[in-house]
Amino acid sequence: MSDQEISIFWFRRDLRLEDNAALWMALKAGVPVLPIFIFDVNILDQLGNKKDARVLFIHGEVMRLKAELEALGSSLQVFYDTPEAAFQEIIKTQKVTGVFANRDYESYARERDKKIYDLLAGNDITFKAAKDHVIFEKDEVTKDDGLPYTVFTPYSKKWKAKLNSFYLSSYPTKKYFANFLQCAPFKMPSLKMMKFEDFNFEFFPKKKIDADIVKDYEKTRDFPAIRGTTHASLHLRFGTVSIRELCRIGQKLNDKWLGELIWRDFYQSIIYHFPYSERDSFKPQYDRIQWLNDESQFAKWCEGMTGYPMVDAGMRELNQTGFMHNRVRMVVASFLSKHLLIDWRWGERYFAEKLLDYELASNTGGWQWAAGCGCDAAPYFRIFNPESQLEKFDKEKKYVRKWVPEYGGSAYPPPMVDHKMARERCLEVFKKALQ
């Protein structure tokens, strides 16, 4: 065991050195900081697709971090293991005085952190956590009576009223880079060693935010054929950009775009206060719905072969790129849960497998919004008409023709369900369950 006292900074969903809350806390504490990252087998073993672009993205970003730290004379120790096993190994080989990490609000992360906290406490090691990937957490934005908001608009008003420069200030980590532990480079596990494929993937969005897109956001955000959104969600998900930086951009350039970041905080607040909503309907009465759950219809939806062009274009874009435009996400989610009467959880799980920016809170929140069963959801009788959505938001069919080249020809299937029939059936089934 090394005699030198060190502290550990544990990278998770915050893959950057700049403006990183818990990293700043660790470096400022004055004990040399060894950064670590854990490829958590508890999560990776659940991924059936071993050609997963998200794992590829994370691996690339961890390699970048490691190179940045080695340029500072330090390194990044990377584990492929369970978090408990990784920390047991660290404790055996290093004289650790404290561990620092940024908080995560998902149930699995909270259980994981509790186990690590207990393990460290049993070895007289402190575990300090900070708020980093949201602007407001836990009970920082609540109703006047202290209860959590379950409706977005009043939450958003309170969020904006509370916001000031303190919450948007960057953490000056760079000032303390000299406090990284000086050490020889560590070896990093390869994708192959972790049983994942290394491959060329061309659809990772750039990290830099296009200011012109932010400025024109209201005018362009609903039209999937144009680049009218910033695609910032992947970088937010893994913390390769700072939420504080993005909020400053939104505050300066476009309040509507800032509102999308507030939705993200809102959904994080919902899973923190109502963890059951990660798996079950926020409104429990919706779990009485008699879903049809036709597997062959679900397969057609997954493949983008429903006969509804906007739905099919969205699903094919998702399958190929790991991205789907937000307007289209609403249309395809409504179609699955309301036209086909397939449980929203089936769609949520499919998105969880495919989306580059998959984030449990926003994904379950979005799906429950579309199905009508979430907090502040669209009412169950609001059923998107995929044909009128197409006319309104892709009138010239540019988006559809890009992803469904056979559209308009004999190879394209007819609609799998009639909209009028499906709408009436949905209203009847939902009304019966909710009486």
Q: Which of 24, 159, 346, 367 is catalytic?
A: 367
Q: Which of 61, 260, 317, 359 is catalytic?
A: 260
336 backbone dihedrals φ, ψ, rounded to 5°: -65, -50
Dihedral sign for Cα 255, 256, 261, 262, please.
Answer: positive
Catalytic residue flag (residue 263): yes
Angle, CA 216 vertex, CA 212 and CA 218 arms, to 5°: 150
Catalytic residue flag (residue 257): no
Catalytic residue flag (residue 344): yes
In angstroms, rounded to a whole number, what is the distance separating the alpha carbons of residues 58 and 109?
17
Smallest CA-to-CA distance from 304 within 413, 183, 212 is with 413
Q: Which of 278, 326, 353, 385 is catalytic?
A: 326
In angstroms, rounded to a whole number, what is the distance separating the alpha carbons of residues 355 and 357?
5
Contact 84, 118 (CB under 8 A): no
Question: How many CB atoms lie under 10 A from the CB of residue 223?
Answer: 18
In angstroms, rounded to a whole number, what is the distance separating the alpha carbons of residues 247 and 259?
9
Q: C-alpha 404: how far from its chain's center?
A: 27
User: And the tokens for 424?
Assistant: 């009436």
The owner of tokens 């998105």 is: 351
Catalytic residue flag (residue 260): yes
Smallest CA-to-CA distance from 52 within 273, 356, 400 is with 356
The owner of tokens 């660790």 is: 26
Q: Which of 18, 68, 263, 319 is catalytic?
A: 263
Catalytic residue flag (residue 326): yes
Q: Which of 344, 346, 369, 403 is catalytic?
A: 344
Question: How many CB atoms lie under 10 A from the CB of residue 372?
Answer: 24
Q: Which of 291, 319, 353, 385 is catalytic?
A: 291
In angstroms, rounded to a whole number, what is the distance separating the alpha carbons of residues 27 and 31?
7
Known catalytic residues are 260, 263, 291, 326, 344, 367
